[in-house]
Amino acid sequence: MKYIAYCRKSTDEKDKQVLSIEAQIAELKEFAKREKLTVTEFITEAKTAKAPGREQFAEVLKKIEKGMANAILSWHPDRLARNSIDGGKIIYLLDTGKLLDLKFPSFWFESTPQGKFMLSIAFGQSKYYVDNLSENVKRGNRQKLRNGVWPSKAPYGYINNPKTRGIDIDEEKSKVVKQSFQLFADGNVSFTGISQFMFKFGIKREGEKPVKVGQVKNMLSNRFYLGILKYAGEYYQGSHKTFISKKLFDEVQKQVEKIERPRQKGHNFAFAGLATCGECGAAITAEQHIKKYKNGTDQTFIYYRCTKKLRPCTQKYVSEIELEPQIRKIVSDCGLHEDWEPYFEKWITQAEEKDKLVAGVEEIQLDGQIQESEVKLNRLLNGYLDQVIEPEIYKQKKNELFEEKLKLEEKKSQISKSGTVWLEPMREFVNCALQAQKVARAENNSHDLSIMGKKVGSNFFLNDRRLSATLDFPFAALSAEGGAASAAPNSDSISFLVTPLGLEPRFLG
Ligand SMILES: [Zn+2]
């Protein structure tokens, strides 16, 4: 089949929805490439189609008559004809078999009686179709979304596949994106740092510029990377493959939150922002005093005190030298001696095996619930299509059901990934406790002590120079034994440590 591509835009068409001739050519070239059409030539015309008598259009018809081409490619039927005479000529050529095919990127035509009927309507009412063009695009988007396909530009690490119209993983760039997520999760790189990293490895925005900070932030919080599409306030289950794990994504969200939160003043003081005043509840602030000696040397002292901004308060200064051993004691009591590690490892492994059996049963239950919510969604869609349900109610209800289904699916994937959800925190606890013991034993590490303190506890109060904290379970249980776990295990410590932690003694020792 030989196609003549015909493009037209007249000066009296102010309508912005009508593409410029240049844009039509570009679209048609892309379309032809995609559909593998042989285009013999491009013919353009800058005249109105409302009245007959266009020279270039006549040229197209003449060439078809002569058999120099047997098909026409155009943006839309209204580019070809907007009056019944020109439209009639086209249909006549189709009827006589001189014209075998018409192709339009924005109009579906097939050479059947129905197709010709639709075409004649498109010629006669082309304005109607033009007006509906953007509506058609929206409708197309919705169809795509229902099929789980993102209808817009692919996010970083993905590419739009022009053949399937789907979204594929970009082999190279997805690796850069994944590394960006990992870098960011580690917590030492800013949004700008990620942008620079991506730039270095070929991910840029238009004009060879680094991706903007806001775009980096959006990328790092985009649930598209988990397979979820959010479009115009509605959720859809994506069909694209993912390369970022749920765990990594969640870690990144924690970092995003941390950066987004305004930085606390005086963060260079190790224990600033750790505690509040036990008497009045006001914030604790830090001050630095430099004492100069007559012999020319000086010494720096750091003090913490109540800001007394809420009401009068009798609390006095406390020096960092006094504060440090107190937080060290708290951290130390939450520590686990490294010799405990194999005991806990063994216990976790056995618990994991036991839970795999339980998880299997749970998965089957969840499958049932997921199916149930799918049935509900289908029923809802049918009600909507039958116009029994109002669009607004449909949208709201659909989002609800979708969220519910999403949660079930998330739960299921968590179960199949890690046996059960709770073993992971257990591992984290053991690792954290092992680390706490190391931090407590190290020297000159006020900042590390402060960070570790916040990991094991909360609600730090300073009252009469004494620091107190509420320890998170199971650190509270560990600490209740007076730091027994920070020593190597022996038969006594094993028996009194496992019970408060809720562990079964048979797994230990
Ligand atoms: Zn106070």
pLDDT digits (tens, 9 = 90+) for 191-240: 999 999 999 999 998 888 999 988 999 999 999 999 988 876 667 888 99
Q: Residue 177's pLDDT is what? A: 97
The C-alpha atoms of residue 142 and residue 70 are separated, in whole angstroms, by 35
Q: Residue 262's pLDDT is what? A: 52
Provide the CA 22 distance to its chain's centre, in angstroms. Answer: 36
Nearest to 133 by CA among 79, 68, 81, 184: 79
Residues 321 and 452 in one domain: yes
The C-alpha atoms of residue 447 and residue 267 are separated, in whole angstroms, by 10
Question: Residue 243 corresponds to which amino acid?
Answer: F
Cβ atoms within 10 Å of 271's Cβ, excluding its own: 24
Residues 115 and 179 in one domain: no
Q: In this structure, is the dihedral angle defined by the CA atoms of residues 360, 364, 366 and 370, taken in order, positive or negative?
A: positive
Residues 182 and 217 in one domain: yes
Please tell me the distance between residue 473's alpha carbon and the centre of ligand 1 in angstroms: 28
The predicted-structure confidence for 255-276, as pLDDT tens digits, reads as follows 888 777 654 444 478 898 899 9
* CATH number, residue 186: 3.90.1750.20
Phi and psi torsions of 234, nearest 5°:
-115, 150
Please tell me the distance between residue 282's alpha carbon and the centre of ligand 1 in angstroms: 5
Q: Residue 62's pLDDT is what? A: 94
Say if 309 falls within a structural domain: yes
Residues 508 and 412 in one domain: yes
Q: Which of 225, 260, 295 is the last residue of a domain?
A: 260
Q: Residue 131's pLDDT is what? A: 43
Say if 379 falls within a structural domain: no
Residues 443 and 353 in one domain: yes
Q: Which of 241, 260, 279 is the last residue of a domain?
A: 260
Residues 95 and 243 in one domain: no
Please tell me the distance between residue 307's alpha carbon and the centre of ligand 1 in angstroms: 7
State how beta strands 457-463 and 234-237 pair. unpaired
Residues 12 and 107 in one domain: yes
- Once rounded to an integer, what is the mean pLDDT over residues 417-438? 74
Q: Which of 243, 260, 277 is the last residue of a domain?
A: 260
Say if 398 falls within a structural domain: no
Please tell me the distance between residue 274's alpha carbon and the centre of ligand 1 in angstroms: 14
Q: What is the 3-state secondary structure (H, E, C) of 250-319?
A: HHHHHHHHHHHCCCCCCCCCCCCCCEEECCCCCEEEEEEEEEECCCCCEEEEEEEEECCCCCCCCCCCEE
Please tell me the distance between residue 461's alpha carbon and the centre of ligand 1 in angstroms: 10
Residues 310 and 425 in one domain: yes
The predicted-structure confidence for 290-330, as pLDDT tens digits, reads as follows 888 888 888 888 899 998 888 889 999 999 999 999 999 99
The C-alpha atoms of residue 126 and residue 456 are separated, in whole angstroms, by 69
Please tell me the distance between residue 472's alpha carbon and the centre of ligand 1 in angstroms: 25
The C-alpha atoms of residue 180 and residue 211 are separated, in whole angstroms, by 13
Q: Residue 275's pLDDT is what? A: 93
Residues 443 and 490 in one domain: yes
3-state secondary structure of 482: coil
Say if 21 falls within a structural domain: yes
Total domain count, the chain: 3
Please tell me the distance between residue 270's alpha carbon and the centre of ligand 1 in angstroms: 20
Q: Which of 139-143, 279-283, 356-360 has the lowest mean pLDDT?
A: 139-143
Please tell me the distance between residue 277's alpha carbon and the centre of ligand 1 in angstroms: 5
pTM of the full predicted structure? 0.41
Averaged confidence pLDDT in the chain:
83
Residues 21 and 153 in one domain: no
State how beta strands 234-237 and 228-231 pair. antiparallel
Cβ atoms within 10 Å of 122's Cβ, excluding its own: 20
Say if 211 falls within a structural domain: yes
Please tell me the distance between residue 463's alpha carbon and the centre of ligand 1 in angstroms: 8
Find the helix or strand (DSSP H, E) in which 181 lies: helix 171-186
| In the chain, % of residues over pLDDT 70 | 84
Q: Residue 264's pLDDT is what? A: 42
The predicted-structure confidence for 10-69, as pLDDT tens digits, reads as follows 766 655 556 778 888 888 998 899 889 999 999 998 876 666 678 899 999 999 999 999
Say if 381 falls within a structural domain: no
Nearest to 60 by CA among 26, 34, 86, 83: 86
* CATH number, residue 47: 3.40.50.1390
Residues 38 and 99 in one domain: yes
Residues facing residue 301 across a β-bridge: 289
Higher pLDDT, 5 or 165: 5
Please tell me the distance between residue 257's alpha carbon and the centre of ligand 1 in angstroms: 29
The predicted-structure confidence for 369-407, as pLDDT tens digits, reads as follows 999 988 888 888 888 888 888 888 888 888 888 888 888
Please tell me the distance between residue 306's alpha carbon and the centre of ligand 1 in angstroms: 5
The C-alpha atoms of residue 70 and residue 352 are separated, in whole angstroms, by 69
Q: Residue 16's pLDDT is what? A: 52
Q: Which domain holds residue 108?
A: 2-131
Q: Residue 179's pLDDT is what? A: 95
- pLDDT confidence tier of residue 453, bands split at 50, 70 and 90: very high
- pLDDT confidence tier of residue 487, bands split at 50, 70 and 90: confident
Contact call for residues 5 and 28 (beta carbons, < 8 A): yes
Tokens of 101: 């095919």
Q: What is the 3-state secondary structure (H, E, C) of 312-362?
A: CCCCCCEEHHHHHHHHHHHHHHCCCCHHHHHHHHHHHHHHHHHHHHHHHHH
Residues 292 and 247 in one domain: no
Question: In this structure, what DSSP letter does residue 128 have?
Answer: H
Nearest to 314 by CA among 464, 132, 97: 464
Say if 53 falls within a structural domain: yes
Q: What is the dihedral of CA 121, 124, 125, 130, to 10 degrees?
A: 100
Say if 6 falls within a structural domain: yes
The C-alpha atoms of residue 169 and residue 158 are separated, in whole angstroms, by 4
Would you call 377 exposed, middle or buried from its count of C-beta atoms within 10 A (0-12, 13-18, 19+)? middle
- Once rounded to an integer, what is the mean pLDDT over residues 459-467? 94
